[in-house]
Amino acid sequence: MHSSQYGDHHILSPDDTLELTKADTPGEIINKLNQEAVAIPHHIAYSPGYRGISWEHFDESISPVVEVVSKHGCGVCDESNGQYLHTMGPRDGRNTVYEGLRLGKKFGFTGSTDHHAGYPGSYSDGITAVLSEELTRESIWGAIKNRRTYALTGDRIRCNFTVDGSPMGSEISYSNTHDINLEINSVDFIEKAVIYKNLEPIKAIHREDFKSSKIKYGKYKIRIETGWGRKTSPYKWINSVKVTSGEILSADPCFRGQSVLAPKEGEDHQANVNMLNNEIITLNNNTIEWNCTTFKNPTTRHSATCAVVIEIEGSKETKLEINLNDKNISVSLDGLIKYGISGHMKEYNSEAYLIHKAVPENMYNVKLNCVSDSKEGDYFHAEVHQINGQSAWISPVFIK
């Protein structure tokens, strides 16, 4: 729904038969549908009266969650990374997440790609994490309506945030002592993680707080990134990693769709622009295989690369045998603890790869806790930021 007065919304439903309908307000759309649905305020930080959110008309009964980051940029606050650069204009501090919380509005946080070219979850454009009891449509829908969500830019940073054991999105009674806990399993080096009370930091950890020490073997995360080059045409990658004297514990995809905001109707190459065959094919204790397609970076400040991040457990003897389009690279965990390495597919101006520096577990698996009092109307939330610019914004816990 496009609206200058009420702001743009997208309508979300667990019902596959959701009807296309028109109305003058978001509430009228939800009422006319006569189906399970919510109206999610979208790219909220545009100027008031110019398709940004209208906090005056915001209705938490139909909008339990609000989109805080998308391809348009980040609408958390004036100081957030991710300025608005679309033709629709700049970010306005009056229409940010922080301003809505200051006004006493209750809502959870979501991220959306807004990828009109049809690539849900396109890396670094915005995604949502849902804290759900089960991987079912009904359970996920219930979690969204109860604000058990948080927003991410792209890396799948696992977060668990509780106040007195109550999860993100909850409403609890005020108390002289609240136990506040934040558990993080990030995908890269953590730059900082912060617990806020009423938007003021009450507990934080920064990269400088992590103790540096001699190499200790154990769990590490390693990102293998591919792309670059000069070609605007698709470049297909067939990749694999075999780990010896170690074990692969998990893997995260970081796949991008081609950044086309609005494919043109009737143009086949536009309609199929994101049939890219990006997929992790095999994952077991010692092998991962994946395919992906990349394009040249659109500018020197905007990436179009793809990657996977593997978590491994290893020792001084651990080695990674990496195959990228039949180019073989052998690296040791010992070497990657010291620095990342790069290479090229051809001698000049070709596609390239980067095997990032290994991230030790104490830099990505982190817990924060603190104690705070509260009064009616207070709220607590948390944020996590990695050194690679990827972030997570965790829905608040509200005091009744």
For 162-185, write each residue's pLDDT tens digit: 999 999 999 999 999 999 999 999
pLDDT of 204 > 90? The answer is yes
String of DSSP letters for 108-141: EEEE----TTT-TT-TTS-EEEE--SSSSHHHHH
Give the pLDDT band of residue 120 (cuts 50, 70, 90).
confident
End-to-end, the C-alpha distance of the chain in Å comes to: 32
- With residue 207 as reference, give the H or E element that holds it: none
Cα separation values, 142 from 55, 68, 258, Å: 24, 20, 32
Tokens of 9: 């919304």
Q: Which residues in 26-52 are b (16+ Cβ under 10 Å) and which e?
A: bbebbeebeeebbbbbbbbbbbbeebb
Specify the pTM.
0.95
Half-sphere exposure of residue 199: CA atoms within 13 angstroms, side-chain side: 13
CA distance 40 to 81: 22
pLDDT at 102: 98
For 49-71, write each residue's pLDDT tens digit: 999 999 999 999 999 999 999 99
For 240-261, write each residue's pLDDT tens digit: 999 999 999 999 999 999 877 6
Q: What are phi and psi of 243, to 5 degrees?
A: -100, 125
Best CA proximity match to 290, nearest among 307, 304, 268, 267:
307
**Residue pointed to by tokens 């081609």:** 258
pLDDT of 309 > 90? The answer is yes
362 or 231, which is more confident: 362
- With residue 290 as reference, give the H or E element that holds it: strand 287-294
pLDDT at 269: 55
Count of beta carbons in the 10 Å neighbourhood of residue 268: 7
pLDDT at 162: 98
pLDDT of 29 > 70? The answer is yes
Q: What are phi and psi of 209, to 5 degrees?
A: -80, -20
